[in-house]
Structure 1
Amino acid sequence: MVDWAYAGMLDENDVRLLEEMSVDVVEVSFDDDSDEPLNVFSDHDLLLAFHDEVDLDWEEVAERSALDQRRGLVITQSTVLEDLLSDVILQLEEPDDAEARRSELDQWMIGKRLKRVESLLANGASPEENRSFPREELWAAIRRRNELAHGDITRVTSDPYPRPDGPGRALQVEWRLVDRRTRESRLITMAGLREDVYAAIAAYKSLLRWTVANLSD
């Protein structure tokens, strides 16, 4: 701005006016200046550290932290479906007090909102609107979100076995998601979690396309 003034493009009054109109951005939430990495510890890790029994396996801690970070991305990305489902409910119900109804819907879990949409479509939508509603895609994203939210991530190491490509032995290390309610266990991978994020985004876009095609004035 000052260079422009020297070049004859702006006089001093113009520069002063622009400076008075300028807005500085002050970041509030990004206030952590520490370079120390944040890690996620299992209950077993914390118990051992509390009793000073053994040194922690920091490689395991780092792997768990990376998986948990990506798991959080999936959960957060899936959560954006909540507001859009509420919008769909409001458009289908057309309540007299939309704000009061929205406040009520804000207390609902995401699965309950989707079930309400399905009920409204079954009772009042055209066959084409009901048929084209992306329920399978939405339910898949919600189920995965719930699995990740209610699961513990556990590292599992196999017994050593002969290497198939040469001398020596090998062992397989994998991480598994264990459901805290059912105790069911399944493999969890970084690539799989990436696909989960993409699937949550795709589900939102599908619902948005359906909304624009069927509910827009």
Structure 2
Amino acid sequence: MSLGEAPYRIVAVSAGTSEPSTTRMLADRAAVGVVERLRQSGRNASAEVIELAPLATEIAQSLVSGFPSESVQRAIEKLAAADGVIVSTPVYKAGLSGLFKSFVDLLDNDLLIAKPVLLAATAGSARHAMVVDDHLRPLFAFMRALSAPTSLFAAPEEWGSPDLGKRIDRAAGELAALITSGVGRDIADGGWSGYQHSFAGNATRAERTADAVDYDTDLMRLARGGV
């Protein structure tokens, strides 16, 4: 891909809720690093961040109803169209943010197959450093994404450390390499028919049809007014 062609699309998902948010700051730094790496190699690239905090109520409602709201669906479609994804979540009580997990629960199981993903998390203590690899990595393995080898974690005392910058640069380089190699596209396109597909709706290669919706569930009968 040359500078004259359509840019690679990097989408970062931040589940930070404070203002300012260190979770968003980590996502921003990673996104800037990936874009810079791509541009240094002669590729054009753009990045945007999906903030989950403003969507929190709609995410909860979408989980209950079984159907993403319009705003949540737009966020999902941005992930589907992304060439590379960065996910950044705060850690609470040795676990992932509930907001972040709820959003992931809304994703079609096929949405991120072979999608290059960079994993990141923040916390108030370095005691939570392993949550990224203990919780995030298995989650995205289940989603069948291609997670970059280097994950990112930042506790308060690390923000001024050169080591954090080095890790961000290394992780950004890994994600850029996965994106430009085309390996994700080759894996997804070459093996698509062989995957066990659980859903139809949001996946880029899945057909959306009315047949994919079970209208005979209690929830759907309730949505129809109890008919």
* Structure with the larger helix share: 1
Which of structures 1 and 2 has the bigger CA Rg? Answer: 1
TM-score (norm 2): 0.23
* Structure with the larger strand share: 2
